[in-house]
Amino acid sequence: MSAFLSMGGYGAYVWPAYFAAALVLGLLTVWSLRKLKAEARQLERLESQLARHGERRPRPPATSQSAN
């Protein structure tokens, strides 16, 4: 086990490299997933807001002008 950790004397270099990789890629994944969930929640909230809004008053006929 200690041979594994010391990596032939190079442990102080090998392990930081691997941990940095795990940390950076891990943080990237976590950040991406959290952003996805946050935006999905935003969308849900917005869609339900608009649905409720549409129920309360009749929507005017959709104009032919579309947002480009």
The residue among 55 and 65 lying less far from other proteins, judged by its C-beta, is 65
Which of 13, 52, 55, 58 is in the footprint of other proteins by CB under 8 A? 13
| Least CB distance to other proteins at residue 58 (A) | 11
SS (H, E, C) the chain: CHHHHHHHHCHHHHHHHHHHHHHHHHHHHHHHHHHHHHHHHHHHHHHHHHHHHHHHCCCCCCCCCCCC
Which residue's structure tokens are 């941990």?
A: 19
User: Which residues are at the interface with other proteins (CB under 8 A)?
Assistant: 4, 7-11, 13-14, 16-18, 20-21, 24-25, 28-29, 32-33, 35-36, 39-40, 42-43, 46-47, 50, 53, 59-60, 63, 65, 67-68
